[in-house]
């Protein structure tokens, strides 16, 4: 049986009315019809791509049937010369039992969809292990 998390929605919501107010990253994933929401509150001035990646990792962690720890290491936007649009990359650490995995995911996207692209890159980093963890549970 195949288990993959699917990205449904990405939002950045201001917390307060000030221009420099904190923002909440809100990401909704789907797993076999079930909706899972992840959240992360970004401090004023914090990188919003990292906040969206962290919210995505929060949702992934909630979706799993076992306890894991997912830590965002980096979320970056690159503009390689050989691509016509930006490349976003997410690097995360996953601790599962006594095992540590270094995960990397990427997504090429237009500037207009960069928020969705960073969430997709976080899923690209995690979905192979999500599938593996669920398949272990099915045995």
Q: What is the pLDDT of residues 113-128, one digit of tens each?
A: 999 999 999 999 998 8
CA distance 30 to 102: 24
pLDDT of residue 51: 96
How far is the C-alpha of 92 from the C-alpha of 101, rounded, in Å? Answer: 8
CATH annotation of 6-138: 3.30.160.270
Rounded to two decimals, the pTM is 0.92
pLDDT band at 15 (very low <50, low <70, confident <90, very high): confident
Task: Give 2's pLDDT tier (boundaries 50, 70, 90).
Answer: low
- pLDDT, one tens digit per residue, over 30-80 is 998 899 999 999 988 889 999 999 999 999 999 998 899 999 999 999 998
């Amino acid at each position: 049986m195949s288990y993959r998390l699917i990205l449904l929605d990405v939002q950045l919501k201001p917390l307060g009315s000030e221009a420099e107010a904190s923002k909440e990253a809100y990401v909704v994933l789907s797993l076999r019809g079930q909706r899972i929401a992840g959240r992360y509150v970004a401090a004023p001035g914090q990188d919003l791509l990292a906040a969206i990646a962290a919210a995505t990792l929060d949702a992934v962690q909630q979706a799993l049937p076992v306890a894991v720890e997912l830590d965002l290491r980096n979320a970056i936007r690159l503009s390689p010369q050989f691509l016509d649009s930006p490349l976003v990359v997410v690097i995360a650490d996953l601790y599962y039992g006594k095992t540590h995995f270094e995960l990397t995911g990427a997504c090429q996207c237009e500037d207009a969809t960069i928020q969705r692209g960073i969430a997709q890159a976080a899923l690209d980093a995690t979905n192979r292990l999500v599938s593996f963890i669920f398949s272990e549970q099915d045995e």
